[in-house]
Structure 1
């Protein structure tokens, strides 16, 4: 009963972000495709409040025959990064830095968790995120945790809240973790000091 009440109370905050229905041309996707040189891997990226420890957004980067970011209900865009159904293509090292910098700010940091996977799992992950389609508003956690479970990470519970998914994924054998803090607000930040803004998944960034 308490859990249900907490969910009801959270919905007004979570409901503020609408799903995008963006499908850039496949020709642009193919032209911008980027493959990393390192081993196939999955990367869970979570924006965490420096004040409360609550999660503001969850995204999954897949590196296989190409590197993409599954960014359900996200708001990050770049003119050289085509998007189709919440999947961002052409994730070069520079674009990845831009993506992380967008989310890391004085009030939020990014937790980046990597796990090396087989080429077969990486390709399955690429297929799953592209088949998912645009996520409904406030469902980044549900979308990302659902993909992880479909890939066989059964210890990752289906969850609404990004920090819960992060904790579950962190317990998977082989996962490594790093944190990115950034106290600056620059042109890549979605807001300026003192300006409250609805975050990627409907929570409030007040950096």
Structure 2
């Protein structure tokens, strides 16, 4: 499969918010690099992928900096061969992997909005545990799963059970101390830095 075909398929999958069901083995989870502990403070970051054409929300993802840093990417298509995944939780999420995640989604037709709140270690761990317990997310339920995980967590009272990425993004903005960052990328849809796997190595076009 050539790069252009791969990228077009990835774009379609993103817009469809398709789900899967992956479960890393115990050996993969125990491998070196399978876990990453980020520096404090503990934070919860919401990523919203938004169309540049009409402003509609296409996807929601949740970065959780708890006892280890994980990415909850519900019904998402992003992956890296070195990151074990259980359900829709990716482990070993270093700053470089976060950059890969953003680069995968940001392109000419999609912006990424990054919103972050600082939380206590106890709250961060609770969110992580709830994401791990949620399991694989069916197609088109990314925002609903994220909002369900955050709903009822202390400090996240503004989060309802929304099904829409834009509504979830607006609710997250109401959280005390929430920051916002807009990430844009002028790469075309068929050349937007989608990670490819060749001989076990990830490379970007």
Instruction: Note whether the superposition's TM-score is higher than 0.5.
Output: yes
Indicate the residue corresponding to 1:139 in structure 2.
141
Q: How far is 1:184 from its partner?
A: 1.4
Q: Which residue does the alignment assign to 1:175?
A: 178
TM-score by length of 2: 0.81
Shift of 1:108: 0.6
Match of 1:161 in 2: 164
Q: Which residue of 2 aligns with 1:189?
A: 194
Structure 1 residue 79, shift from structure 2 partner: 0.5
Aligned residues: 179
Post-superposition Cα deviations, 1:49-96, rounded to whole Å, max 9, x if no partner, equal 112111100011100110001111000011111110000111111111
Give the C-alpha shift of residue 188 in structure 1: 2.8
Please give the residue correspondences for 1:43-54 in structure 2 after superposition, counting only pairs within 5 Å.
Answer: 43-54=45-56
> What stretches of structure 1 of length at least 5 have no aligned partner?
1-13, 191-207
Query: Which residue does 1:23 correspond to in 2?
Result: 23
Question: 2:17·2:142 contact (CA, 8 Å) conserved in 1?
Answer: no
SS at match of 1:120: helix
Q: Counterparts of 1:1-207 in structure 2 under 5 Å?
A: 16-31=16-31, 32-152=34-154, 153-185=156-188, 186=191, 188-189=193-194
Distance in 2 of aligned mates of 1:118 and 1:67: 14
Q: Distance in 2 between matches of 1:17 and 1:111?
A: 17
Cα deviation 1:139-188 (Å, max 9, x = unaligned): 00110011111313121121111010001100111101101101114463
5+ unaligned residues in a row in structure 2: which ranges?
Answer: 1-13, 196-205
